[in-house]
Amino acid sequence: MKPATSQRHYGMDWLRIGAFVLLIFYHVGFSFTPWGFQTPTRGVVQWAEIPLLGLSAWRLALLFAISGYASAALFAKDGDTVSFLKSRLLRLGIPLLFGLTVIVPPQPYMGLLNSGYTHGYGYFLFHDAFSFRRVIHENLPAIMHLWFVIYLLVYTVVLCLALMVLPASWRAALARGSEKVLAGPLLLPLGCLMTYAVRYPGDGWTDTHSVLTDMCAHLHYGGMFLFGFLLRRSDALRQAIALQWKPALAVGLAGYAFVALEAWHFPGNVRTPRAWMEPLDFAKSVQCWGTVIALFGIADRFWNRDARWRTTLVEAVFPVFIAHQTVMVLVSYWLRDKGLTALPEFLTLCITVAVGSWAFYLIGREVGPLRPLIGLKRAKSVKRVDAGALPSHVA
């Protein structure tokens, strides 16, 4: 794969931008399925879960792998573990606190209003939002979509502790061993089996988003984070992906075909028969790993080139991520009694979420004190310059 580890890989930038664009469509589409909240006017769209299942198995694994890749680039730039950890705590921790206290609370409030809650937002904010108790059906305070940032911060801290504690010789041996195993014919079969192994126990493909109990998710996402970290530093692994991304794509599509078949036969909340469960878990594992490897290869082969809007879009990713779900919930609440059918409602939500989230970024980047709160550098540079590594917000 190109370029060398000392250079910026534009393909990874485009892959991350694309992943977060898909995230908006996924979250909007989610409310049209039996899994999410449905507005009274149009209800459930029975087939909507099938295209969403084309994304659900791999989208978060991909984001954590990209985060690990970016973290390795930033670690090389910062030069030492302490500096790297400090920069990540600031660039992720400050927006996380801002998001949890300012951006997220409207989401559970809208949910409570739909369940008969009669108090105003001011009362909710000062009496219930941070009460550490259950109000109707909402566990407060809520973290909502910012669980991703919490997990990313935890994995970063654990990685830094490991880098501090483990001797350099041990770290080098672990990296060489992992590279030797993965950078060859075992890349696809071993990755699929390892994904299946960590997702198999219990209801392994249902994340709880509770940092203390979400063990299957931690093994999966933490492993993908480490895989991305290794990938940035390994020429051999990048070459293996460059050679195997086409069969990986075929493997991923085959996994999705079985997942879609199961959804067709047992749609919505219809219980999947026990005989289908293990094959379904394995199909999701195959779909996840195959798709991630294929997308890394595609990003390298076709997208590793710069463009005028790339720097701005990369900078906008984290602010847009912070804002998008709250914008969606607010617009959904406004739309709930408008009598729209599914297609116009879906299009309205997509457009308003995209525009509202982009406006959040544009306004925030121009106001100096707001910049660190939405994950941007404190001082706005007149000329944005690539520093040979992905920016440090939701990397």
**169-180 pLDDT, tens per residue?**
999 999 999 999
**In-domain check, residue 381:** no
**In-domain check, residue 385:** no
Query: Is the pLDDT at 190 greater than 80, yes or no?
Result: yes
Query: Is the pLDDT at 110 greater than 60, yes or no?
Result: yes
Where residue 39 falls among pLDDT bands split at 50, 70, 90? Answer: low
Across residues 208-231, what is the average pLDDT?
95
Contact 9, 3 (CB under 8 A): yes
Note the pLDDT of residue 37. 67
**In-domain check, residue 306:** yes
Note the pLDDT of residue 4. 45
Residues 6+ apart with CB under 8 A from 252: 58, 286, 287, 288, 289, 290, 291, 293, 294
Share of the chain above pLDDT 90, in %: 78
Contact 68, 389 (CB under 8 A): no
Across residues 15-19, what is the average pLDDT?
95
Number of independent structural domains in the chain:
1
| Distance, CA of 313 to chain centre | 16
As a whole number of angstroms, the distance between CA 121 and CA 129 comes to 9
Note the pLDDT of residue 270. 86
> Which residues pair with residue 133 across a beta bridge?
140
**In-domain check, residue 388:** no
Across residues 181-210, what is the average pLDDT?
91
Note the pLDDT of residue 269. 80
At which residue do the structure tokens 């305070």 appear?
141
Q: By C-alpha distance, which of 282, 182, 195, 283 is closest to 241? A: 182
Where residue 38 falls among pLDDT bands split at 50, 70, 90? Answer: low
As a whole number of angstroms, the distance between CA 85 and CA 171 comes to 18
Q: At what angle do helices 147-165 and 59-78 cross, to 10 degrees?
A: 40
* Structure-token pair, residue 176: 């060489």
Where residue 114 falls among pLDDT bands split at 50, 70, 90? Answer: confident
What residues make up the domain containing 24? 10-104+143-374
pLDDT in tens, 296-342: 999 999 999 999 999 999 999 999 999 999 999 999 989 888 888 88
Q: What sign does the dihedral 228-21-260-151 (CA atoms) show?
A: positive
Residues 6+ apart with CB under 8 A from 243: none
Q: By C-alpha distance, which of 5, 57, 12 is closest to 251? A: 57
Contact 109, 140 (CB under 8 A): no
Where residue 394 falls among pLDDT bands split at 50, 70, 90? Answer: very low
**In-domain check, residue 346:** yes
> What torsion, rounded to 10 degrees, do the Cα atoms 93, 97, 99, 103 define?
-170
As a whole number of angstroms, the distance between CA 285 and CA 252 comes to 9
Note the pLDDT of residue 204. 74
> Which residues pair with residue 134 across a beta bridge?
139
The most distant pair of C-alpha atoms in the chain lies apart, rounded to whole Å, by 65
At which residue do the structure tokens 């590793």 appear?
304
Q: Judging by DSSP bridges, how do beta strands 133-135 and 138-140 pair with one another? A: antiparallel
* Structure-token pair, residue 205: 């493909």
Across residues 215-219, what is the average pLDDT?
94
**What does the mean pLDDT of the chain come to?**
90
Contact 328, 27 (CB under 8 A): yes
Where residue 43 falls among pLDDT bands split at 50, 70, 90? Answer: confident
| CA–CA–CA angle 124, 127, 128 (5° rounding) | 60
**In-domain check, residue 112:** no
| Neighbouring C-beta atoms of residue 271, cutoff 10 Å | 8
Note the pLDDT of residue 40. 59
Q: Which has the higher per-residue pLDDT, 144 or 378?
A: 144
The pTM score is 0.92
* Structure-token pair, residue 250: 């075929």
Note the pLDDT of residue 252. 98
Note the pLDDT of residue 34. 82
Across residues 113-142, what is the average pLDDT?
94
**In-domain check, residue 360:** yes
Q: Which has the higher per-residue pLDDT, 283 or 35?
A: 283
Q: Report helix, strand or coil for 209.
A: coil
Q: At what angle do helices 10-30 and 49-56 cross, to 10 degrees?
A: 140
Note the pLDDT of residue 395. 45
Q: Report helix, strand or coil for 133.
A: strand
Across residues 282-287, what is the average pLDDT?
97
**In-domain check, residue 188:** yes
